[in-house]
Structures are given as structure tokens and as C-alpha cells.
């Protein structure tokens, strides 16, 4: 039992380390996006300067023509016009060089974003596998001769194929949000029971009704909370919600037109289980860093 508990403690410590890496990745992605936005702004300034340089060059040419018409009286002004034209040409070249540098920076940023997405997917896989390790260790502990249940698992940890809400790795510091996550876990576990008992269609309908309400209320409430807390994962959270909605929509289309209800229900259970674990442990837990601050956005006057 002590060995199992040590394993749980070590796995929880590793999960926290991965969570810190995930948060650093989110902050890095936010910084890269800010750099991209700034580059676009600078690019617009560069384009404006290029346009100004062109117009200045045209005006200098016109001034040179008028100076030539004026003869000796316009000689001095012709020299000035020529200098202005040279300055305009230098501005144009500087603007073009700046545009090249900005495009190179954007290309580097795009490469960094692509690499970051790959790292994020790898971390999600690590998070899910760690959760599976926790599940296995918790199940072993619950089946031990002592009958003790480790502190990091709920009392219903005896079900090997059920999700267990582990506060050490899944708590967000927001009680209402944690309870909503627990409710979704309960629904997924109930669906698993229904599948094992051959009641997949019967078990699916309550979950689908629950998901409709969950998406409307939980997603919007959680996104609002992250905005209020100025959580660094706020944008990543919205993107993850959008991806989940897209994945669920694709599943629903296949389910409505398919002829393998049990296989489709198992696919949904797997989709929801993996997404919930990686999303809660990887993104939602960012709220832990901001829950103490309780920063609120002032209401509009």
C-alpha cells in the first residue's frame, strides 16, 4: 500500500510539473501571438511610409519640373527638389527592407506556432497517460487488503474504467466549475455503465441532453471567469471549446447517419473522457494561479 501511495504521490508531482510546462507554453503562445499582432501593425506603418515616399517622390519630380520652367530663379529650388526625391527613394528602400524583415519574423512566428501545437498535443498525451496511471494506482489501492483509499482519489475509485476526479491534478480553485466538471464526469461514467449493460441507446439520451445544457452554461461561464481573472489560458480555453464543439458536431453527424450505435457511443465516451482529462488538467487548472487574485473587470458606466 505504501508503494502504491508513493507511486501516486510521484505521479501527482510529475503531473504538476507537466502542468507548469503547459502553462509556460500557453504564455509563450500568447507572447508569440502578441508579436504577430505587433508585426502586422508595424507592417501597416511600413506600407504607409512606402506610400508617403512614393507621393513625396512624385511631388519632388513635379517641383523639379516647375523649377526648370522658372529658369535661373528656380535653380536653387530644383536642387532642393532633387534632394527630397533622393530622401523619398531612401524611405522607399527602407520600407521595403522593413517589410522583408517583418515577413521573415512572421514566418518564424508561424513556425513557432506550428511547433507549439505539436508540443501541446504531446503534452496532452502525457497528461492523459499520467491520468491513466493515477487511475490504475488508485484501483490497485482500492483493491488492497487494507481497504484503504488514497487521498488523491474519490471513494468510487474501484471502477477501473471510470474517470475519477483527482483534486490534486484537476481542481481549478473555483468550486462551481469543479462541481460542473464532476457532473460531466458522472454522466460519462453513467454512459460507460450503460454500455457495459447493453443499454447504450438508453444511456446516451440523458448524456446528450446534459451536453446541450453543459455546453451552453459551463463553456460560457468558464470563459467569462477566465476573462474576469485575466487568466493567461483564456484564449486557449476558448479555442479548445471551439474544437470540442466541432468534434462533437462531427460525431453527431456520423451517429445520426451510421448503423453502429454501440461503436459510436463508445467513440463518444472515449472522445469526452480524453478531452475532459487533458482539457481540465492542461487548461482549466490555469485558474488555480488566478483564483486567489479575484480580479474583476469594472462594469461599464
pLDDT one-digit tens code per residue, 33-51: 777 877 777 777 777 777 8
Q: How far apart are CA 278 and CA 170, in angstroms?
A: 10
Residue among 299, 295, 290, 283 nearest 30 (CA): 283
Domains of the chain are 2-123 (1.10.287.950), 171-290 (1.20.120.50)
Among 186-195, 220-229, 262-271, 289-298, the least confident range? 289-298
CA distances (Å), origin 289, targets 176, 221, 280, 285: 16, 18, 14, 8
Q: Residue 134 CA to chain centroid, in angstroms?
A: 25
CA distances (Å), origin 204, targets 100, 165, 262, 268: 55, 21, 10, 9
The confidence score (pLDDT) of residue 234 equals 86
pLDDT at 213 over 80: yes
pLDDT at 292 over 60: no
The confidence score (pLDDT) of residue 81 equals 75
pLDDT at 75 over 80: no
The confidence score (pLDDT) of residue 124 equals 67
The confidence score (pLDDT) of residue 146 equals 41
Total-model pTM: 0.50
CA angle 170, 172, 174 (to 5 degrees): 135
Q: How far apart are CA 294 and CA 3, in angstroms?
A: 39
Which range is most confident: 24-28, 149-153, 158-162, 292-296? 24-28
User: What is the band of 148 on the pLDDT scale with cuts at 50, 70, 90?
Assistant: very low
Q: Which residue has the higher pLDDT, 221 or 43?
A: 221
Q: What is the DSSP string of 172-190?
A: -S-HHHHHHHHHHHHHHHH
Report the SS3 class of residue 300: coil
The confidence score (pLDDT) of residue 299 equals 38
Residue among 162, 222, 167, 170 nearest 187 (CA): 162
Amino acid at each position: 500500500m505504501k508503494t502504491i501511495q508513493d507511486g501516486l504521490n510521484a505521479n501527482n508531482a510529475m503531473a504538476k510539473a507537466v502542468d507548469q510546462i503547459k502553462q509556460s507554453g500557453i504564455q509563450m503562445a500568447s507572447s508569440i501571438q502578441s508579436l504577430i499582432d505587433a508585426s502586422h501593425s508595424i507592417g501597416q506603418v511600413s506600407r504607409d511610409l512606402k506610400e508617403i515616399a512614393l507621393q513625396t517622390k512624385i511631388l519632388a519630380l513635379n517641383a523639379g519640373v516647375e523649377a526648370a520652367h522658372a529658369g535661373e530663379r528656380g535653380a536653387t529650388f530644383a536642387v532642393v527638389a532633387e534632394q527630397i526625391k533622393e530622401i523619398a527613394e531612401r524611405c522607399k528602400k527602407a520600407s521595403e527592407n522593413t517589410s522583408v524583415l517583418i515577413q521573415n519574423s512572421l514566418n518564424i512566428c508561424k513556425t513557432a506556432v506550428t511547433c507549439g501545437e505539436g508540443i501541446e498535443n504531446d503534452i496532452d498525451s502525457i497528461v492523459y497517460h499520467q491520468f491513466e496511471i493515477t487511475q490504475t494506482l488508485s484501483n490497485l489501492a482500492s483493491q488492497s487488503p487494507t481497504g484503504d483509499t488514497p487521498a488523491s482519489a474519490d471513494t468510487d475509485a474501484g471502477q477501473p474504467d471510470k474517470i475519477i476526479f483527482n483534486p490534486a491534478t484537476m481542481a481549478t480553485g473555483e468550486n462551481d466549475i469543479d462541481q460542473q466538471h464532476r457532473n460531466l464526469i458522472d454522466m460519462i461514467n453513467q454512459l460507460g455503465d450503460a454500455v457495459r449493460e447493453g443499454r447504450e441507446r438508453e444511456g446516451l439520451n440523458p448524456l446528450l441532453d446534459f451536453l446541450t445544457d453543459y455546453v451552453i452554461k459551463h463553456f460560457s461561464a468558464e470563459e467569462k471567469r477566465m476573462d474576469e481573472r485575466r487568466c493567461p489560458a483564456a484564449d486557449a480555453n476558448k479555442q479548445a471549446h471551439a474544437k470540442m464543439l466541432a468534434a462533437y458536431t462531427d460525431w453527431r453527424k456520423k451517429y445520426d447517419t451510421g448503423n453502429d450505435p454501440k461503436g459510436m457511443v463508445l467513440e463518444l465516451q472515449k472522445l469526452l473522457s480524453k478531452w475532459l482529462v487533458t482539457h481540465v488538467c492542461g487548461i482549466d487548472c490555469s485558474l488555480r494561479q488566478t483564483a486567489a487574485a479575484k480580479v474583476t473587470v469594472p462594469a461599464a458606466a
